[in-house]
Structure 1
């Protein structure tokens, strides 16, 4: 059998199973991105489904559309600077068991910029809204000569979601909301391909590109318990994505050998967010959020090429949980200050953690502010620092899906994320003082 034919047959089993885990050290559990709003980032997203001046509350709860009367628009830009090192203790080649050394990666995750935008119109009873966001993404990037190269080199997900929602005020204390989501995903990943030669002679590489559009829905309720106190609950449905694209195989990552059609089915998880917001007095407001994400739907990924299953990746993810609390202080009529603390449980178990997604439990610390230049125009600013826990990577051919990937014993450490976000918000036809009254 020629090297070209061997590579064409074997590469799908190695390259494709990671198509859906290209997010790297994402700043939410799994490969999720939580940074949809500078306003709510200032409280570590405490209170994000309970309404507020931030229009992004509709992302978590469509019923929150009713919170800001009139026509409003908001745009946010968030810069995410993650860091995670992978120290390799032991790595061996597939089949031969030859040592691959202990060359790790000093920083396996790349920085990224996340823009989001929102538009809402709230009348006396009916409200409508449109949001463009990016709920998933980020990148892991390792040189393809590192000791874990068979488990991944470069991985990326680009994701864009368009959400259209409406809300109806049933009573003075109850608002219900619903909407639809259209989600586009584009993924690319690469890894070294074992050829049967003793390392480091291996110089075969595989790269997969795939994309798809999926559809989902969102539901929500906003309850006013007392003046200034609201409780919100929102549901975002799962979205089925059938990624289709190409698997390219090359020599030395330069000379193309072949290109195949490949597919991989992925279900993005459904999510429930519950929040409260209570204004204790004209100056102080307390906030909280509990969020559950159904990552346990991600158990296995079956990969097909030309309609034939070629590989199964055993992930065995758990549900994800996020807990946050925050405070807001109205310094004066123009300036509001806020801060928040959160803790997030990763859905990725130690037994299946991959260098393509070195996700760990994390602690959030955030601070932010809103400055109202006029009753209609305001600016939000927020900064967060996320502390990641050190966690192991223990991958071996004991899992049959890793038969051609060898053994990798490593640790993810020095994990952290710095996040800076800026948002602009304008209320076109709000009466004077609305921005402060509805904060």
Structure 2
């Protein structure tokens, strides 16, 4: 299989559609439109429909009979990276060249679908299946953009398949577990910015030196490939009484070995070479502690604390085990230092039953960034996020429920970016800027009891 060496940004495509990640790092939160309406507050303790097993497999024991739930969320990001580039090079003498390097709308719109099934076997046992995605992000700028040397395109596709099973111990306690089968594919490329051509065409530049500079828009590094890896998840639920419930869930990390080939001037020297390579990357473990509280006959509140082990995303190192090595002769290449840290997410939401047919939802969340200011990059412009969500559920028939939701996510606080790149020893390139933006999410979920 072709596999990918990812760098800089890493992003998700579910069933072939690309999405800007809406949680910290490149984690996706959009697993159902039901949960979206309350900003995914209380998810590990909720059992609205078959999608409940995605966060906590133990919640399967609260689902009667056989149930199907499917839907999708349309993601509309507006992410900007603004700043300037300073080029220091002996080719410029004592002069420092400054170039505007702002990029707008670096992530396109996308549709993220999902599918869930649950089957109650008896009073104790229930099993289920899920197909969704938990990670991803995509960024892209023009091949001649001033910041293209840091990466003009990066993407990863992750699709996750989970068979799950749950057991009701008694009226208070349930446990569950599942297997995580994760398929991931991705691509990355960095190209020569237009300002390299401006330096190259300088009549004062010696011809021999100009010949060493790559042409504008030329691929410097490119990698692509895919892999399948396994993980697991566990969950538990405590029904304190008929009105209050706690849920706890843990999803293991998943180690992908993106194995494929590398190309580009800095790897193949402009020759027609096929360089085999692979890049290990661990998708981080994550956990959630959640509560469900029925405060009145019609009103319930939900809360969540989420943790993600982003500290495993430290470095991206590519390895070249085949006979054909990069032109540098190295067997490994430090693609990028990432230096992520573990992050936390806090959410609070509510549900109000208007009548027999309609209920409404709302929620707020604070999603803390997974990167310190000094390590933020142009291709993973991660920052703190605030979520504002609202939604509604309609009981269309005895067995069919339709959920609608919309969310606005705002990046807040300072998100400075200062990144350096060495251009083949000929120039030191420094980007100085910041990231900003917002995202709109809109989704629908259909749930059917058979």
TM-score normalised to structure 2 length: 0.85
Match among 364, 367, 379 for residue 356 of structure 1: 379
Where 2:42 maps in the other structure, the secondary structure is coil
Match among 33, 46, 62 for residue 67 of structure 1: 62
Cα offset for 1:22?
Answer: 4.0
Give deviations 1:307-340, integer Å, cap 9, x for gaps: 6112252111111111000010000011010100
Cα offset for 1:90?
Answer: 3.0
User: Contact 1:25/1:109 (CA < 8 Å) preserved in 2?
Assistant: yes
User: Contact 2:87/2:98 (CA < 8 Å) preserved in 1?
Assistant: yes
The reply on whether 1:396 has 2:420 as its aligned counterpart is yes
User: Contact 1:77/1:114 (CA < 8 Å) preserved in 2?
Assistant: yes
Question: Who is 1:86 aligned against?
Answer: 81
Match among 232, 244, 262 for residue 247 of structure 2: 232
Summarize the alignment of residues 263-278 of structure 1 with structure 2, pairs less than 5 Å apart.
Answer: 263-278=278-293
User: Contact 1:261/1:306 (CA < 8 Å) preserved in 2?
Assistant: yes
Q: Distance in 2 between matches of 1:32 and 1:401?
A: 33
User: Contact 2:225/2:258 (CA < 8 Å) preserved in 1?
Assistant: yes
Are residues 197 and 421 of structure 1, via their aligned partners in 2, closer, same or farther at CA, if it must alter by over 3 Å?
closer
Question: Who is 1:99 aligned against?
Answer: 97
Cα offset for 1:196?
Answer: 12
Where 2:433 maps in the other structure, the secondary structure is strand
Q: Distance in 1 between matches of 2:90 and 2:373?
A: 24
Question: Who is 2:162 aligned against?
Answer: 163
Q: Distance in 2 between matches of 1:95 and 1:421?
A: 54
Q: Distance in 2 between matches of 1:60 and 1:402?
A: 48
Where 2:264 maps in the other structure, the secondary structure is strand
Where 2:50 maps in the other structure, the secondary structure is coil
Q: Distance in 2 between matches of 1:192 and 1:357?
A: 17
Cα offset for 1:234?
Answer: 0.4
Summarize the alignment of residues 34-73 of structure 1 with structure 2, pairs less than 5 Å apart.
Answer: 34-73=29-68
Q: Distance in 2 between matches of 1:402 and 1:350?
A: 26
Q: Distance in 1 between matches of 2:236 and 2:280?
A: 32
Where 2:394 maps in the other structure, the secondary structure is strand
Where 2:54 maps in the other structure, the secondary structure is helix
Where 2:48 maps in the other structure, the secondary structure is coil
Question: Who is 2:359 aligned against?
Answer: 336
Are residues 295 and 379 of structure 1, via their aligned partners in 2, closer, same or farther at CA, if it must alter by over 3 Å?
same
Summarize the alignment of residues 110-121 of structure 1 with structure 2, pairs less than 5 Å apart.
Answer: 110-121=108-119
Q: Distance in 2 between matches of 1:287 and 1:297?
A: 30
Q: Distance in 2 between matches of 1:126 and 1:199?
A: 68
User: Contact 1:19/1:208 (CA < 8 Å) preserved in 2?
Assistant: no
The reply on whether 1:221 has 2:236 as its aligned counterpart is yes
Q: Distance in 2 between matches of 1:326 and 1:110?
A: 29
Cα offset for 1:135?
Answer: 1.1
Q: Distance in 1 between matches of 2:89 and 2:316?
A: 21
Question: Who is 2:325 aligned against?
Answer: none
Cα offset for 1:199?
Answer: 4.6
Give deviations 1:39-82, integer Å, cap 9, x for gaps: 11100000110022132221111101111111000001110111
Question: Who is 1:29 aligned against?
Answer: 24
Unaligned runs of 5+ in 1: 1-14, 429-439
Q: Distance in 1 between matches of 2:175 and 2:257?
A: 32
Unaligned runs of 5+ in 2: 13-18, 201-214, 323-330
Give deviations 1:143-185, integer Å, cap 9, x for gaps: 1222211111011111100011100001110001011000001
Question: Who is 2:298 aligned against?
Answer: 283
Q: Distance in 2 between matches of 1:327 and 1:144?
A: 46
Question: Who is 1:5 aligned against?
Answer: none
Q: Distance in 2 between matches of 1:196 and 1:290?
A: 46
Q: Distance in 2 between matches of 1:73 and 1:401?
A: 55
The reply on whether 1:18 has 2:13 as its aligned counterpart is no
Aligned residues: 409
Summarize the alignment of residues 177-188 of structure 1 with structure 2, pairs less than 5 Å apart.
Answer: 177-188=176-187
Are residues 261 and 230 of structure 1, via their aligned partners in 2, closer, same or farther at CA, if it must alter by over 3 Å?
same
Match among 275, 285, 289 for residue 260 of structure 1: 275
The reply on whether 1:248 has 2:263 as its aligned counterpart is yes
Q: Distance in 1 between matches of 2:20 and 2:78?
A: 7
User: Contact 1:118/1:132 (CA < 8 Å) preserved in 2?
Assistant: yes
